[in-house]
Structure 1
Amino acid sequence: MDISGNTIFIPGATSGIGLALALRLRAKGNTVVIGGRRTELLGSLAAEHGFDTVRIDTADAESIRTASAEVIRRHPDLNVLIAMAGIMRVEDWHHPEGFLASAEEIVTTNLLGPIRLVAAFVEHLRTRPDATIVTVSSGLAFAPLAATPSYNASKAAIHMLSESLRLQLADTSVKVVELVPPSVQTALLPGQEDSDFAMPLDDFADEVITLFDTQAEAREIQVENVKFLRYGEARGDYD
């Protein structure tokens, strides 16, 4: 997608990767609308950075319908959706009490959330001459972390959803781009913000913006750190 001149909606952008990208995209000359559940935090981000904001809970179908209608009403020139919200949990699949409730929440947020967001925005995006849906998968869609089965599966589903939507929407003005993060220093899991293994958040966000700027026709946005996960099977060292 073009890196400037867009009107972009990013649910799940009150912290972490979503906020880091929102700040950089706004600095590139885009109008950025951010969404989240905490109205106080949305208010402070609006005051500090000039974002328009909308309250949205991406685990709640009615919240998505209400928020999407409000965003389109206030920003009829909206042409980019970045489906950012997601959760990650450690699970033990030896017994159902170790994973079932977590798995259901993860699928609702990480898979049904983006599906519902696309459903809410796709007709509007098709009216724009140059529109983009950005999905957010993970390196763990391609090489699993044993401790997080449902998260891995939800992101693998997002990858295949992205591939399929790209085929279906090829006859429209809507492009589909998949952002594939590695482990990044955010609060996605306890202790991840300070992990030496995880990529520093600012480094990740800067590289993503550079890739959007220099790879306008890319189907996947892959920072260098994620490629050891993304291409393990192709290299023959997946195991």
Structure 2
Amino acid sequence: MDISGNTIFIPGSTSGIGLALALELRARGNTVIVGGRRAELLERIAAEHPGIGTVQIDTTDAASIASAAKQVLAEYPDLNVLVAMAGVMRVEDWTDPASFLDSAEATVTTNVLGPIRLIAAFIEHLRAQPDATIMTVSSGLAFTPLKVTPSYNASKAAIHMLSESLRLQYAGTSVRVVELVPPAVRTALLPGHEESENAMPLDAFVSEAVGLLESRPDAKEILVERVKFLRYGEARGDYDQVVATLNAVDPHGK
């Protein structure tokens, strides 16, 4: 995708990677609309960052996605980029069904159904644009599992394969599919993760990722250097070692 001159909707972006990406893309000359559940956060973002659009949306709710899509397209008819940012990550113990089932279902609803519903809501509009992009957001854990987050790993693997499949289906159309593949980043995705020494600083991640978008406008995957250890373990032939190394590290950095 071109790095400037776009109209971009990023739901699930009132904090963390989503908000940082929104602000960086805005600074690069794009019209950016952020979406989130909490009206007070959206109001604060609008006040602190004039020019950023805001739309209330709950990506776990199909009706909310449909309503938000209608609003976005009415207010921003030039929309040509959708960033399907929705994601939650929870520690689960799968030896006890009573402790993991609700978490697993909520994770799949947010991380898999959310992006699917978002794409369904916007694809007709995007296909009518001369140059459009769908950016999905997977994870290094789509390729190497973290023991304590089974549903998150599986949901991000699903997003990776969805991205691969949609790229095939949209070949020959105006819609490109690019997959952003973060490593561990210092956000509130897990409790205590914002200070983790084992996670990449947020600003550094977004700066490197947007730099890659700029230098490689036709890239299928956006891979910062730090995530390649997880992404290519199987291809390198050291997958078992990568799994062991990842799971020997406390995800909270303690």
Task: Give the TM-score normalised by the residue count of structure 1.
Answer: 0.99
- 2:182 maps to a residue whose letter is P
- 1:180 maps to a residue whose letter is V
Query: Does 2:18 align with 1:30?
Result: no
- 2:25 maps to a residue whose letter is L
- 1:106 maps to a residue whose letter is T
Show the counterpart of 2:247: none
For residues 203 and 53 of structure 2, the distance between their equivalents in structure 1, rounded to whole angstroms, comes to: 22
Show the counterpart of 1:92: 93
Show the counterpart of 2:49: 49
- 2:61 maps to a residue whose letter is D
Show the counterpart of 2:231: 230
Q: CA deviation at 1:95?
A: 1.5
For residues 169 and 120 of structure 1, the distance between their equivalents in structure 2, rounded to whole angstroms, comes to: 16
Show the counterpart of 2:166: 165
Q: Where do residues 1-239 of structure 1 align in structure 2 (5 Å cutoff)?
A: 1-50=1-50, 51-239=52-240
Percent sequence identity is: 72
List gaps (5 residues or longer) in structure 1: none
- 1:161 maps to a residue whose letter is L
For residues 44 and 186 of structure 1, the distance between their equivalents in structure 2, rounded to whole angstroms, comes to: 19
- 1:114 maps to a residue whose letter is P
Moved >3 Å (runs of 4+): none
Q: CA deviation at 1:171?
A: 2.3
For residues 204 and 179 of structure 1, the distance between their equivalents in structure 2, rounded to whole angstroms, comes to: 11
- 1:62 maps to a residue whose letter is A
For residues 98 and 215 of structure 1, the distance between their equivalents in structure 2, rounded to whole angstroms, comes to: 43
Q: Secondary structure at the match of 1:65?
A: helix
For residues 102 and 215 of structure 2, the distance between their equivalents in structure 1, rounded to whole angstroms, comes to: 42
Q: Secondary structure at the match of 1:146?
A: coil
Q: CA deviation at 1:30?
A: 0.2
For residues 117 and 187 of structure 2, the distance between their equivalents in structure 1, rounded to whole angstroms, comes to: 25
Q: Deviations over 1:71-128 (max 9, x none)?
A: 0000000000000110000000001112100000000000000000000000000010
Task: Give the TM-score normalised by the residue count of structure 2.
Answer: 0.93
Q: Deviations over 1:137-182 (max 9, x none)?
A: 0000000000000000000000000000000011210000000000
Q: Secondary structure at the match of 1:145?
A: coil
Q: Secondary structure at the match of 1:228?
A: helix
Q: Secondary structure at the match of 1:205?
A: helix
- 1:23 maps to a residue whose letter is L
- 1:19 maps to a residue whose letter is L
Q: CA deviation at 1:57?
A: 0.4
- 1:142 maps to a residue whose letter is F
For residues 83 and 169 of structure 2, the distance between their equivalents in structure 1, rounded to whole angstroms, comes to: 18
